[in-house]
DNA sequence: CGATATTGGTTGTCATGACAACCAATGCGC
DNA sequence: GCGCATTGGTTGTCATGACAACCAATATCG
């Protein structure tokens, strides 16, 4: 009987606010990135993951998994990024079915260009609102939630490194 | 110089995980609600807010603000919900420009029907992963973030009550 | 009052994502 | 090695959201 019981007051508050945050976060990220470098947050994420991959290269399937995208979605986005010369695709020598995606120097340059504004936006809208203890708590809480939402850790591990590394890498040329 | 500085390790972890959560949460919510009652999470939210409004009625503009929607978006969604007889629109007597939206008995019934599965999903995917202290921390952290992302409190206040009230109301007929 | 600006909503057009169908290459059973 | 299932990707079609243009009603100001 407890599992479908209405939420307690504290639970309802936390849940409603978490939903509000996940509603507003993408809007904020897309707005800043579209304004600064004409990239959606998802496109930025794809490039970030690639930048942090060995050889700046990844298979389409793996890339889709790391970015929580379906393969068709990634395929469309890759085509657009390829037209912008930010990314290139080439067949995998080992498995002729597979396609490798690699970020181009232009793509890396755009990431560098985007980094300062992106970091500033994240700071002013999110991180600066929290004290160090809360940052730790947030990391722990989101880790627990991800263990449920993403048991295989497709996003958590790799994407975490990716976002971090790309930002740091682009901030240090 | 600190404001565009790369994130610290703790910050990067917390941020990346938060992004991952907001990427996965909508997917989870949409999947459950579409499966159970053929409603997107946004449509569910609209109905929830209405159910918690006085007279089960709200002006389109106010409803859009409460659900973080643009007016055109809400207009389209309201038309779909109206076709399903879950919602009805009628001109506001006081201001002939304005349109009021009201949830129908059918709409309330769907909310009731959806509640158990929705609550169970939220519990098993999110709340059950946290101990009571973490729930409190999450509420506090998201409150701080919302103060930045949504300074006017358009979502936080009302939506919070709405989601809670509608679930509790439908769970107690 | 009458012209103009503003507010409240709706309806276009266009970009983007989901889902299904499809093709190519590989693996596997016998 | 040949037939079939599976994997890896791409390309359709369709639903949904953003943005702009538009119309109706109200408020404002001379």
Tokens found for residue A28 = 């904020």
Measured CA to CA, the distance from residue A156 to residue B149 in angstroms comes to: 24
pLDDT value of residue B93: 86
* pLDDT over threshold 80, residue B91: yes
pLDDT value of residue A154: 77
The residue written with tokens 């700046």 in the block is A56
B98–chain A nearest CA distance, Å: 26
Residues 6 or more apart whose CB falls under 8 angstroms from that of A93 comprise none
* Residue numbers in B near A120 (CB within 8 A): 3-4
Taking the CA of residue B91 and the C1' sugar atom of nucleotide C16, their distance in angstroms comes to: 33
* Residue numbers in A near B144 (CB within 8 A): 129-130, 134
> Nearest to residue B126, comparing CAs of A72, A167, A7?
A7
B3–chain A nearest CA distance, Å: 6
* pLDDT over threshold 90, residue B170: no
Measured CA to CA, the distance from residue B136 to residue B90 in angstroms comes to: 41
Which nucleotides of chain D have an atom under 7 angstroms from any protein CB?
7-12, 16-21, 24-27
* pLDDT over threshold 70, residue A158: no
Kindly determine whether the C-beta of residue A123 is less than 7 Å away from any atom of nucleic acid strand C: no
Report which DSSP code applies to B6: P
Query: Once rounded to an integer, what is the mean pLDDT over residues B60-68?
Result: 92
The residue that leads in pLDDT, B169 or B88, is B88
**Which of A50-59, B1-10, B51-60 has the least mean pLDDT?**
B1-10
pLDDT value of residue B27: 87
Backbone angles phi, psi at A3, to 5 degrees: -70, -30
Mark yes or no for CB contact A14/B159 under 8 Å: no
CA angle B31, B37, B38 (to 5 degrees): 65
- pTM for the whole structure: 0.85
Q: Which of B14, B134, B163 sits opposite A16 (nearest CB)?
A: B163
Measured CA to CA, the distance from residue A9 to residue A158 in angstroms comes to: 35
Intra-chain end-to-end CA distance of chain A, in Å: 58
pLDDT value of residue B159: 38
Which SS3 state, helix, strand or coil, does residue B7 take? coil
């Amino acid at each position: 009987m407890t599992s479908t019981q209405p939420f307690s007051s504290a639970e309802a508050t936390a849940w409603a606010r978490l939903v509000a945050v996940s509603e507003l976060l993408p809007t904020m990220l897309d707005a800043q990135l579209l304004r600064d470098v004409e990239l959606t947050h998802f496109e930025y994420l794809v490039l970030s993951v690639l930048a942090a991959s060995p050889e700046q290269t990844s298979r389409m399937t793996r890339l889709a998994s790391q970015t929580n995208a379906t393969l068709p979605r990634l395929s469309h986005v890759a085509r657009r990024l390829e037209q912008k010369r930010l990314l290139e695709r080439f067949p995998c020598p080992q498995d002729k079915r597979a396609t490798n995606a690699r970020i181009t120097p232009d793509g890396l340059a755009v990431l560098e260009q985007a980094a300062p504004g992106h970091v500033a936006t994240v700071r002013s809208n999110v991180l600066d609102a929290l004290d160090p203890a809360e940052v730790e708590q947030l990391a722990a809480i989101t880790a627990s939630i991800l263990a449920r939402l993403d048991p295989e850790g497709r996003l958590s591990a790799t994407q975490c490194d990716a976002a971090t590394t790309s930002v740091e890498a682009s901030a240090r040329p």
